[in-house]
Chains A and B, each alone.
Chain A
Amino acid sequence: MTQAEIEIQMLAVVVAAACALPGAFLVLRKMAMMSDAISHAILPGIVAAFFLTHNLNSPLLILAAAGTGVFAVLLVELLMSTERVREDAAIGLVFPVLFSVGVLLIARYAGDVHLDADAVLLGEPAFAPFDRLVALGRDIGPRALYAMGAVGLANVAFVALFYKELKIAAFDAGLAATLGFAPTLIHYGLMTSVSITAVAAFDAVGSILVVALMVAPPAAAYLLTDRLRDMILLSVGLGVVAAVAGFQAARLLDVSIAGAMASAAGAVFAIVWLAAPRYGVLAGRRRRRRQKWEFAEKMLAIHLFNHEGLPEEDTERRVGHLEEHLSWERDFARRVVRRAQSNGLVRQANDDLLALTPKGRAAASEAITNL
C-alpha cells in the first residue's frame, strides 16, 4: 500500500470504531433508525456552517452541524408529543424535510459553496489524504484522521464515563428514572454523540454509510454475546474488520470505498446471522432438529415406561406398534429407536421387542414428574 492508502485505511478503521460505540446503544435501545434520521438531518447544518468556516473538518462546523442533528431529534420528539403521529412516521417526516432544506440551500447558493449533496450523501475517503494537518511547520497527517480520532476518543470517553448510566437506560429506562439517572440527559448525550460522529464521518464515508457502520457491526455483535461490555468491544472489532475488508476490496476492484465498507459491514452481519453459535440461523435450526429427536426419544421412553409390567406390555413394546400408538411414520419410528438405543435409553430384545434400560427408566420417570 502507498502512504496515501495506509492513511485512508487508518481513517476507515477509526471511522468504523468511532461509529460502533454509539451504534451499540442505538441497536439496544431500538433507535437504529435515529442514526439514519440524524445523518440526513445534519445536511442543512453542514451547509450553513460551511458558509462560515469553509472547512469541512473544522471543529466549529462539526459542532454546529451536530446541533442540527440534535435539533432533528427534538423535532421528532415534539411531533410525537402531539400524539398525532407515531414515532416511525415522525422520523419519516422530519429527516426528509431537513435534508431537503439542505439540498435547496446547496442548489440556491451553488456558486458560493463548493459542496455537493452527492458528496455529503456518498462521502469519499480517497480525498482525505490531500487535506493535511500541519503543526509547528511539520506535516503530521491528514486532517480528517485527527478530526475523526478526536471524535472517536470523545465517544470512548462518553461510553466509559457514563457506562453504568447508558447500560441501565438501555435495558430498563424505568429503573434508570427511579434511581435518578436522568434518562433524558443520557438520551440526549447519546444523540449528541451520534450527531457529532455522523458529522465527522460523513466526509469520509457519507451520511448513508455512516448508518451501516453504526448499525451493522453492533447488530452482528448482538447475536454473538449477552454481555454489554463484550458487545461493545465486538462491535468495534467487527467494524474494524469491515473497514479493512471493505477498503481492500475497493482497492482491488477500484470501486467506491465507502460503498465497499458498507457492503463489507453487511457481509459481516450476514455471516454472523448465519453462523453465530447461539443466536444464528443455522444454530437455531440445529437446535430445533436436536430438540425434535430428543423429544421423540423421551416420548418413546415414557410410552414404554407407562406400559411396563402391564398385561398389554408385549404388544406395546413392539417397534411396529409405535406407528399406531404414537402416530409416527415407520421410518421415523425406526430412527427414533436407533437413536434411543445408541443413547442407552432402550435396548432391543429379540423379535422386535423393546425394553427400557435403567437409564431410560430414570429419564422417563423424570420427564413425567417434570410435566
Chain B
Amino acid sequence: MEHLFSDYTLRMVALGSAVLGVVSGGLGTYAVLRGQSLLGDAISHAALPGVALAFLLTGSKTPLALMIGAALAGWLATLWILSVTETTRIKYDSMLALTLSVFFGAGLVLLTWIRQRAGASQAGLDTFLFGQASSLVWRDVVAMAIPGGGALALMLLFWKELKLLAFDPEYGRTLGLPMRRVDLLLTALLVVAIVIGLQTVGVVLMSAMIVAPAAAGRQWTDVLWKMVLLSAGFGAAGGVTGAMLSSLETGLPTGPLIVLCMGAIVAGSLFFAPNRGLLGQRLRRRRNAGRFQRETVLLDLYALGMQHADPLRPHPQGAVQAMRAKDLPVDRLLMRLNKEGLVRRAAGGWGLTDAGLRHAETLRKERQ
C-alpha cells in the first residue's frame, strides 16, 4: 500500500486507471442498459486506423493528437454501422463484427506502412494494441482526465435526455426531444471514454472497461443514478487494484490484470448482490420452499381436524404423513411449526394451537 504513495510510476498508473475506470464505468452504464455493450468493442478496434492516420498526418505522438484521430475513426465507424443497418437488411451484430475487424485491419495496414517509412519513430503506436499503463506520466493522466471529465459533465448536463434514451426513447420522442441527436451525443461520449482508455488497456480489452463495471453495478440497484455511481466506483476500484497487482512483479501487464479484477467484481456482484444476487436468490427460494411445506402441513392438520368438526383435534404424525408424498419431511416440519407456536404435541399426536388455527384459516382463504 505504501508503494502507492512513494512510487511515482505506480501512482500515475493507479491514478490513470482510476480516471479511466470512473469515466468508462459511468458511461458504460448507458451502453449496457441499452443492449449496446459490444459497441464499445467495435469503437475501440475501429480507433486503430485513426491513431495511425493521426500520426501519419501530424507526425506527432502527443496523446491529444492520437486521441482526436482515434475518436474520429471510432465515430466514423459508428456512423457506418448505423447507416448500413438502417439502409439494408444487414443485422447490427454482423455490422459490429465486420466494422471492428475491417477497421482494425486497415489500422494494421497503416501501422505497417508507417513502420517501413518512418522506421523506429513509430515505436509506441503498437502499445495501442494492448495498452501500456506502466508508461503513463502526469501529462497522460491530465490528457485522460480533461476529455473524460468533460464527457461526464455532459452526461450530467443531459441527464434527463440520456435517461429517456436508455429506458423509453419513444416517450422522449413524444415529448418533442430530438432522440436521434441524443443517441449521437451518447455515442460521442462513449467514444471519448474509449479513446482515453486505449493507451492504458489497449483496443482489445477496452470493451471490458465499458461492460464490466456497469454489469456489476446493475446487480446492486434498480436506480439509474445509483447504478452510474456504483459503476464508476467499481471501474475505479478495478483499475486501481489491477494497477497495484501489476506492480507486484515485473513484466505483468496492467491491462489484463485490470480486466481480471473487473471480472472478479462482476462475479462477486452476480453472487452476493442483495436483491438480484444469485446466492440471495437461492437462499430466498429455499426459505420460501420450506415455508410452503410447513404451511402445507399446517393446512393438512386443519383439514384432518375439520373432518371431525374440531379443527383443534390432534392427529398422529402418521396420519399427516399419509396425506403427502413420503419424501416430505413431516416430522421436521412439525417440530419447526411447534417452535413457531402453531402446533402442539398432544395425547393423540399433533394438534393446532389457537394461533395455528387462525393462521391456517387465513392461509386457506389466501390459497383459494
Question: Hey, which bits of chain A sit against chain B, CB under 8 A?
Answer: 27, 30-33, 35-36, 40, 82, 84-86, 88-89, 91-93, 96-97, 99-101, 103-104, 107-108, 110, 117-118, 121-122, 208-212, 214-216, 219, 222-223, 250, 253-256, 258-263, 265-266, 269, 273, 279-281, 284
Contact = CB atoms under 8 A, between A and B. Distances in A.
Contact of A263 (B90, B109, B116, B126): B109
Contacts of B97: 32-33, 35-36, 211, 214-215
B98 A219 contact: yes
B89 A262 contact: no
Interface in B210-259: 210-212, 214-215, 218-219, 251-253, 255-257, 259
A282 B108 CA distance: 30
A104 B208 contact: no
A262 B218 CA distance: 36
B263 A97 contact: yes
Given A92-B208, A97-B208, A215 B105 contact: no
Contacts of B108: 122, 209, 255-256, 258-259, 262
Q: 10 closest pairs, A vs B, by CB?
A: A262-B105, A259-B108, A266-B102, A100-B256, A96-B208, A212-B101, A92-B211, A211-B101, A32-B97, A259-B109
B187 to A, nearest CB: 15
A273 B87 CA distance: 9
A84 B102 contact: no
B17 to A, nearest CB: 14
A89 B215 contact: yes
Given A223-B89, A255-B113, A96 B102 contact: no
Given A110-B251, A223-B88, A104 B105 contact: no
5 contacts: A89-B37, A100-B205, A121-B204, A223-B89, A260-B105
Contacts of B87: 281, 284
Contact of B253 (A86, A107, A121, A208): A107
B137 interface: no
Nearest to B259: A100
A260 B98 CA distance: 14
B38 A269 contact: no
B100 A85 contact: no
Nearest to B256: A100
B91 interface: yes
A89 to B, nearest CB: 4
Interface of B: 32, 35-38, 40-41, 45, 84, 87-91, 93-98, 100-113, 116, 126, 129-130, 204-205, 207-208, 210-212, 214-215, 218-219, 251-253, 255-257, 259-260, 263, 266, 270, 276, 278
Instruction: Among A214, A254, A261, A263, find the residue whose CB has the most chain B CB atoms closer than 10 A.
Output: A263
A265 B104 CA distance: 12
B136 to A, nearest CB: 18
Contacts of B41: 33, 36, 92
Instruction: Among B93, B105, B219, find the residue whose CB has the most chain A CB atoms closer than 10 A.
Output: B105
Contact of B106 (A32, A82, A103, A259): A259
A369 B280 CA distance: 64
Contacts of B126: 118
A22 to B, nearest CB: 13
Given A103-B253, A117-B130, A263-B105, 17 more contacts: A85-B215, A96-B208, A96-B212, A99-B259, A103-B256, A118-B126, A122-B129, A208-B104, A211-B101, A215-B101, A223-B88, A223-B89, A256-B108, A256-B112, A262-B102, A265-B105, A273-B88
Contacts of B270: 82, 84-85
A208 B101 contact: yes
A80 B94 CA distance: 20
Contacts of B253: 103-104, 107
Contacts of A107: 251-253, 256
Contacts of A110: 251
Contacts of B103: 266
Contacts of A261: 105
Given A33-B97, A209-B105, A211-B101, A92 B38 contact: yes
Nearest to B210: A92
Nearest to A219: B94
A273 B211 CA distance: 30
A88 B35 contact: yes
Given A32-B96, A85-B215, A279 B32 contact: no
Contacts of B215: 85, 89, 92-93
B205 A118 contact: no
A84 to B, nearest CB: 6
